[in-house]
Chain A
Amino acid sequence: MKSKADVVVIGGGSTGTSIAYHLAKLGADVVLVEKGYLGNGSTFRCATGIRQQFTDEANIKLMKYNIERWKKLSEELGYDINFKQTGYLFLATTEEEVEAFKQNIKLHNKFGAPTRLITPEEAKEIVPLLNADEFLAGQWNPTDGKANPFKTVFAFARKAKELGAEIYEYTEVTDIIVENNEVKGVKTNRGTIKTDVVVNAANAWAPIINEMAGLDREFIPIKPYKHQLVKTEPIKEGQIEPLVCPPAWNDSYVIQDGEDGGILCGTGLEYGPTYDMTPTYDFLREVLKWATRIIPALKYVHVLRQWAGFYAKTPDSNPAIGKINYIDGFYIAAGFSGHGFMMAPGVGEAIAELIVKGKTHVPLDWEWYDPHRFERGELRSTAFQIG
């Protein structure tokens, strides 16, 4: 293991591997440490979706930029990460929701996201298996999409290594060495790495890392909430390509896995804060009740798997991204509240540029995601979250 580096990234999910890749691309000597295997925290457990359909300027702009990055990512990384623009379809069950959709669409369009209101008939054409009768209208953005989280993390890591980064799996950080409010190194179960810069990309586990750096655990109050998914056996492609979600039905959603055609089904049944990842029977029943109401034909397919992962939530469901002012050389990109995978390319790029160049061209609103906002008691409007 290397004993020194320009930057040590803690956390090997989509965010951490993206940061490592972008840093290496900018010529930094970077080491990434991950306590398990790459992606095992939240990325490999996610529902694969990528959307611009948020309800605030900062998230819409960041995600619009991200979509452009996702489109070119396979080519850039030299590995097909299977990004597909299959869209996100939200469905309204009441007139009030239709009104809210119209407001959302105005906002999306204002920042360049091509969302539009569609009829249930149009929705049925997009999702042939949809139980369209139950809905009044759809909020549809065909440029949203999905990608393969396994391949994405692999591709980021592979390219990062090609560019000189070192990646150490099963390497758990045990302490952050801070002297005179400056980062000096990272202690792990496999040795110490001297460094002036540390990025905390540990998402659900980020408060533990903050504490090691001498910060209060509650300084950035990220809490792990258990969310779950079930996946059905594969069905033929093209039947449920977009992510389909009627928010009024307990934030339930279905999306066809772009890789094998299985249907991922989620719902808003949340447990926590907890680090427990045991799947629950209550979730299985709840999610299948909603999934078969959205797509009745799902009653004919078997569920193959059920698993849990974390939404690493902040009080306003927006991530903490940026520099920690109390410790020179300490950065964070964590607390993605369920949106880490979709934001990874742009966030990795922005943090890398911030570290190397002191500024970034990525349209990332540093003020909005300021890690110090919580201690100031300043919360953002809650980021639109599903599942």
Chain B
Amino acid sequence: MRFTEHPILDFERVRGREVTIYFEGKPIKAYEGETIATALHAAGIRIFQHSTKKHRPRGLFCAIGKCSSCLMKVNGIPNVRTCITLVEEGMQIERQDEKPVLPKTSKPPKWKEPPRIEADVVVIGGGPAGMMAAINASDAGAKVVLLDENPMLGGQLVKQTHKFFGKREQFAGVRGIKIAEILSEELKKRDIEVFLETSAIMLLQDGDEKLVVGVRKNKELVEFKGKTVVVATGAMERMIPFENNDLPGVYGAGAIQTLMNTYGVKPGDRVLIVGAGNVGLILAYQLYQAGVKVEAIVEAMPKIGGYFVHAAKVRRLGIPILTRHTILRAEGKEKVERAVVAQLDENWNVVPGSEKVFEVDVIALAVGLRPSIELLHQIGCQIKYVPELGGHVVIRDSRMETTIKGIFVAGDSAEIEEATTAMLEGKIAGISAALAAGVASPGWLKEVEKTQRELEEFRSGPFGRKVLEGLKKVVVE
């Protein structure tokens, strides 16, 4: 089901011309600008594939192209990430129930030289960190190109309907969706070439420069040659172990926000949220806003992790927050039909007899994120496991340069934090990348230092403590 009304959002801006796509041969109404997974979801289709070994049903999980739960056969091509592939008129979409069988009578592809885009700074990722990096690198005098595998700019900002904190110049009081629009506009004002639906599949040293190998729209090779590279590839939703955690209807919190806030599709009717950090709390409020019932939030820790203001808002709505509770299992035949939760004692053991059953069709996991460091790992940046920062992260200096000269990192791919810090890091990385490329005047160093101070200030509160502890382990000079 699609929303037509929403207190904050206007979905007509993403919904283009009406088109017809076909799921297992049956026509389905969709709108240009929507992803395949969104359109299927709007039509009530939850099961996208069955796992190849145990034939377990699988559906959407991350909705940003990072897991492989939504792979389907599209126009005969297997394993298409339907969550980031836009619908096209007449598209044939099929469920995958086994490993692909390929056509016997294909012709070899015609090979042509891939386009080579040359720039001073190549930015991978068009979220808050990547966009700020691109804008600031450009202002510092660099020729910049930006690529992102999603069909729209903004990263996770495009689903954040809440207003930001901080200072005015850090977009305090502005909703995430609006910040995405502002930054997109700023990109457009500058001569920054943007490649959407373009996945970076390889990051290489190429003589003194860097080569980013991209694949556009799942088929066309594009080469990006740059003097320096900023990797701002964001993060990936964490999964926690519980019985049936792969059932369709178990979603990453971000996936629900994508469905609901970006595309205006109702994620389900009744939701259980796992995790009472800021994401879980904000999600509860957003679901309420969209008219979806939230049965409860369970949190394994003895205390709510998120900001007090968010928790208070959720409590006012009458949504119970059960601390010291965890999810035991999801139940349902082919998709989630209920969730079983239980209380935990001080030693994290389940208290016998404390099981509660919630009749829900959606289980939202808001249990944290881990940095997407694949490209940084592949090119050989030094990596360290730092739990405070969300897991494996790269070693870097205070200008966000990694152990490989000319490779910079910013935002959640550097450490799990928030959009405001991602933007500040993006600015630092962007200017530093322009400086390292030899195109920015040394005067820009002052701007880097100023931004470093802002970042320090933002992190000085109690919620910055953990990140600061973690950063001590990875920031080297």
Partner-B contacts on A (CB < 8 A): 128-129, 131, 233-237, 239, 261, 278, 280-281, 284, 289, 292-293, 296-303, 306
C-beta contact mask, B173-211 vs A, less than 8 Å → 1, else 0?
Answer: 000000000000000000000000000011010100001
CB proximity of A56 to chain B, nearest CB, Å: 34
CB neighbours (8 Å) of A278 from chain B are 380
Task: Judge whether B99 and A235 touch: CB under 8 Å.
Answer: yes
Separation of A261 and B103 alpha carbons in the complex (Å) = 16
Interface residues of B (CB under 8 A from A): 52, 76-79, 98-104, 106-109, 111, 201-202, 204, 206, 211, 213, 380
Say yes or no: A296 contacts B107, CB within 8 Å: yes
Top 5 A-B pairs ranked by shortest CB distance? A297-B102, A296-B106, A236-B99, A297-B106, A296-B108
Identify which of A299, A302, A306 contacts B109 (C-beta below 8 A).
A299
Pick the contact of A292: B77, B98, B104, B109 (CB < 8 A).
Answer: B109
Please determine whether B100 and A301 come into contact, CB atoms closer than 8 angstroms.
yes
Bound complex: CA of A237 vs CA of B100, how far in Å?
Answer: 9
CA of A284 to CA of B108, assembled, Å: 17
* Complex alpha-carbon distance, A297 and B206, angstroms: 31
- Known contacts A233-B79, A302-B79: does B106 contact A289 (CB below 8 Å)? no
* Shortest beta-carbon distance from A259 to chain B in Å: 12
Complex CA gap A298/B103 in Å reads 9
A281 near B211 with CB under 8 A, answer yes
Residues of chain A within 8 A of B76, CB atoms compared: 300
Q: A292, B108: Cβ atoms under 8 Å?
A: yes
Q: Are A261 and B99 in contact (CB under 8 A)?
A: yes
Given A233-B79, A284-B202, CB of A296 within 8 Å of CB of B109:
yes
Residues of A with C-beta under 8 A to B103: 297, 300
Closest beta carbon of chain A to B402's beta carbon, Å: 16
Q: Which A residues lie within 8 Å of B107 (CB)?
A: 296
**Chain B residue at minimum C-beta to C-beta distance from A127:** B104
How many residue pairs link A and B with beta carbons under 8 A? The number is 63
B100 touches A236 (CB 8 A): yes
Say which residue of A235, A284, A303, A306 sits within 8 Å of B100 (CB atoms): A235
Beta-carbon contact of B101 and A235 below 8 Å: yes
- Nearest CB of B to A250, in Å: 14
Q: CA separation between A297 and B102, bound complex, in Å?
A: 6
Pick the contact of A297 from B104, B201, B211, B213 — CB < 8 Å?
A: B104
Mind listing 11 A-B residue pairs with CB under 8 Å? Answer: A129-B104, A131-B108, A233-B78, A234-B99, A235-B99, A281-B204, A281-B211, A284-B202, A292-B108, A296-B109, A297-B106
In the complex, chain A residues whose CB is within 8 Å of the CB of B106: 129, 296-297, 299-300
Please tell me which one of the listed residues A237, A284, A299, A306 contacts residue B99 in the complex, with CB atoms under 8 A apart: A237
Interface centre among B76, B102, B206, by most chain A C-beta atoms within 10 angstroms, is B102
**CA separation between A301 and B213, bound complex, in Å?**
17
- Shortest Cβ distance from B71 into A: residue: A233
Q: Quick check: A301 and B79 within 8 Å, CB to CB?
A: yes
Complex Cα gap A239–B104 (Å): 9
A127 vs chain B, min Cβ distance (A)? 10
Which residues on B sit within 8 Å (CB–CB) of A298?
A: 102
In the complex formed, the residue of B with least CB distance to A303 is: B201
Chain A residues whose CB sits within 8 angstroms of the CB of B99 once the complex forms: 234-237, 261
B residues near A284, Cβ cutoff 8 Å? 202, 213
